[in-house]
């Protein structure tokens, strides 16, 4: 599948642009401030969110980098989650956690208070894994 060829580093590098360019997500997260870590296949990515904007996205490991909560999972699980239309039980971080594919650790209060924002943030790379549209689909 073509979507599996997008390097994780490219998906994560685009995350701030995707999140900060989504007006609905910005409105939803306007009061969200958090430090979090997303681990994809053993590589940690540290995100700083200020007023709903991703202000930093740093690839780790970084010594002494603080985070309030972490979401850890294997690369295969994240790639399934980031499909344009994920399969049932691969569509949600809590479904993946229940399946044992993701682990949610740390202080989950920021996650739970900004849940819809964080679900949107985590799902943002789905738009990058969609196959390119064909010209005829654009015309219709």
pLDDT, one tens digit per residue, over 93-118 is: 999 999 999 999 999 999 999 999 99
- The answer to pTM > 0.85 is yes
**Contact present, 49 and 32 (Cβ < 8 Å):** yes
**Contact present, 126 and 22 (Cβ < 8 Å):** no
DSSP 8-state code for residue 84: S
What is the residue-averaged pLDDT of the chain? 91
Identify the three-state secondary structure at position 101. Answer: coil
> Cα(60)–Cα(122) distance, rounded to whole angstroms?
18
Greatest alpha-carbon pair distance for the chain in Å reads 52
> Checking phi first, is residue 80 left (phi over 0); if not, alpha (psi -120 to 50) or beta?
alpha
Residues near 15 by Cβ (< 8 Å), separated by ≥ 6?
Answer: 47, 54, 57, 121, 124, 125
Q: Domains (ranges, CATH) in the chain? A: 2-130 (3.30.1050.10)
Which residues sit opposite 54 in a β-bridge?
Answer: 49
Residue 135 has pLDDT above 70, yes or no: no
pLDDT, one tens digit per residue, over 12-60 is: 999 999 999 999 999 999 999 999 999 999 999 999 999 999 999 999 9
């Amino acid at each position: 599948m073509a979507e599996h060829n997008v390097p994780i580093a490219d998906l994560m590098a685009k995350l701030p642009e995707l999140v900060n360019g989504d007006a609905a997500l910005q409105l939803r997260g306007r009061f969200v401030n958090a430090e979090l870590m997303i681990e994809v296949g053993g590589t940690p990515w540290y995100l700083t969110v200020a007023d709903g904007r991703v202000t930093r996205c740093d690839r780790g490991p970084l010594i002494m980098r603080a985070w309030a909560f972490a979401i850890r999972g294997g690369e295969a699980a994240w790639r399934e989650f980031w499909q344009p239309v994920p399969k049932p039980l691969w569509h949600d971080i809590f479904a993946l956690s229940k399946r044992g594919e993701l682990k949610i650790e740390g202080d989950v209060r920021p996650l739970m208070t900004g849940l819809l924002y964080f679900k949107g943030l985590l799902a943002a790379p789905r738009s990058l894994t969609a196959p390119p549209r064909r010209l005829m689909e654009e015309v219709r």
